[in-house]
């Protein structure tokens, strides 16, 4: 039996970014105190945490301070060193476990795991040497060479059309292990955020339809504009992945829908996800509250969605959107808030840079068409491209 950690106890968080900031706020709303371990002097999570331990994730003294304080610990990003989670697990409940995070940290391990649990993935080959690229199956071309580790938001990916280009991409990535993945014609991209606790109970949020720009999530539309059958398949796939992984915590399963209607798993993120930010305003239980519930051993909350929602990512480019601006300027947020069902979330980052995630807006409405109309208007007002593509 899982013993619940009572409010007033300390929960630990590895990572100081915006996901950690939103986790802190959710955990504090449940009555917990949160300690953040992060090396930055000024981090979004550190600024709202009850305690900020400024140290590297493998710093022995920092980890010892964290271990001596918290009853349970989690992470806000998948590339946290597994050794840090293993250290904390000696004295505290850790969710997700280091073994689960390790699978998501390596694209090769991830694809092999997905294949074992029966999830369909895009055709791929593992590249460990330059010769592997030169001998790759021609059916995988044109393709995308993806680094096995540390790739996110489109980073660590190179499009290739020939074996020679694949070999050059492998060399350009430093000769570290990669995968060559067949480039597919996609109808859309979707994701499912799923939570699973120590008891094996699982809940899923509705399927999100995701639109990217330059490899970074731009807009999430929920519920996704897909058939009921495809939505059911996506939810079942996410549930199966979490169960087969014996996962504890909040997990996002990102999927492709091909032009032929096939559902393929792209990757998994062992944490709350950008495409699940809408849950803060649109659902009974947000992904961050659920993360705190699992960590504290509390029953899972209902994931049900109140209203259709469209989440618009706010990148640092918005701060440069004024014509001729060569330095960042704070946007006029009344252009967002004049829409009474638009919810603005800013992450407290001191410096706006192009491409940096600075916040998001969730547009709520009785119908998805109305939520989309609000999202288009806000995109136009803030100078965010792609309003007419939604």
Residue 362 scores a pLDDT above 80: yes
Name the fold adopted by 123-182: Dna Ligase; domain 1 (3.30.1490)
Q: How confident is the model over 27-66, as pLDDT tens digits?
A: 999 999 999 999 999 999 999 999 999 999 999 999 999 9
Q: For 186-389, which CATH class?
A: alpha beta
- pLDDT confidence of residue 323: 59
Domain edges within the chain: 10-94, 123-182, 186-389
- Residue by residue, DSSP assigns 37-61 as E-S-SS-TTTTTSSEEE-S-TT-HH
Name the fold adopted by 10-94: Rossmann fold (3.40.50)
- pLDDT confidence of residue 355: 93
Confidence of residue 322 (pLDDT cuts 50, 70, 90): confident
- pLDDT confidence of residue 154: 57
Label the pairing between strands 72-75 and 93-94.
parallel
Query: Which range among 8-22, 43-57, 102-116, 369-383 shows the weakest confidence by mean pLDDT?
Result: 102-116
- pLDDT confidence of residue 79: 83
Q: In a 3-state reduction of DSSP, which class is residue 15? A: coil
Residue 99 scores a pLDDT above 60: yes
Which residue is associated with the tokens 């994931």? 303
Q: In what order do the strands lie in the sheet with 51-53?
A: 51-53, 33-37, 10-14, 72-75, 93-94
Confidence of residue 78 (pLDDT cuts 50, 70, 90): confident
Residue 227 scores a pLDDT above 70: yes
């Amino acid at each position: 039996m899982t013993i619940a950690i009572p409010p007033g106890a300390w929960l630990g968080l590895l990572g100081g970014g915006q996901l950690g900031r939103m986790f802190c706020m959710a955990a504090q709303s449940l009555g917990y105190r949160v300690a953040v371990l992060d090396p930055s002097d000024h981090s979004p999570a550190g600024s709202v945490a009850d305690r900020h331990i400024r140290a590297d994730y493998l710093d022995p003294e920092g980890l010892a301070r964290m271990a001596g304080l918290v009853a349970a610990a989690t992470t806000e990003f998948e590339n946290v060193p597994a050794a840090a989670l293993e250290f904390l697990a000696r004295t505290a409940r850790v969710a997700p476990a280091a073994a689960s995070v390790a699978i998501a940290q390596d694209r090769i391990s991830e694809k092999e795991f997905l294949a074992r649990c029966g999830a369909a993935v895009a055709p791929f080959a593992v590249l460990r040497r330059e010769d592997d690229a030169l001998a790759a199956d021609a059916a995988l071309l044109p393709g995308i060479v993806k680094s096995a580790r540390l790739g996110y938001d489109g980073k660590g990916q190179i499009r290739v059309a020939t074996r020679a280009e694949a070999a050059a991409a492998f060399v350009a990535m430093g000769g570290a292990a990669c995968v060559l993945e067949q480039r597919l014609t996609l109808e859309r991209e979707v994701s499912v955020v799923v939570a699973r606790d120590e008891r094996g109970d699982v809940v899923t949020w509705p399927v999100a339809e995701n639109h990217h720009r330059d490899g970074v999530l731009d807009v999430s539309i929920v519920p996704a504009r897909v058939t009921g059958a495809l939505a059911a398949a996506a939810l079942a796939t996410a549930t199966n992945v979490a169960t087969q992984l014996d996962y504890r915590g909040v997990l996002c399963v990102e999927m492709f829908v091909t032009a032929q209607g096939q559902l393929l798993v792209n990757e998994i993120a062992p944490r709350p996800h950008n495409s699940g930010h809408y849950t803060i305003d649109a659902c009974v239980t947000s992904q961050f509250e659920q993360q705190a519930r699992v960590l504290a051993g509390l029953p899972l909350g209902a994931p049900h969605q109140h209203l259709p929602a469209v989440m618009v990512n706010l990148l640092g480019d918005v701060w440069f959107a004024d014509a001729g601006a060569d330095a960042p300027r704070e946007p006029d947020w009344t252009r967002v808030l004049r829409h009474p069902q638009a919810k603005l979330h800013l992450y407290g980052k001191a410096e706006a840079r192009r491409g940096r995630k600075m916040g998001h807006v969730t547009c709520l409405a009785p119908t998805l068409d109305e939520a989309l109309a609000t999202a288009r208007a806000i995109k136009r007002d803030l100078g965010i491209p792609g309003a007419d593509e939604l």
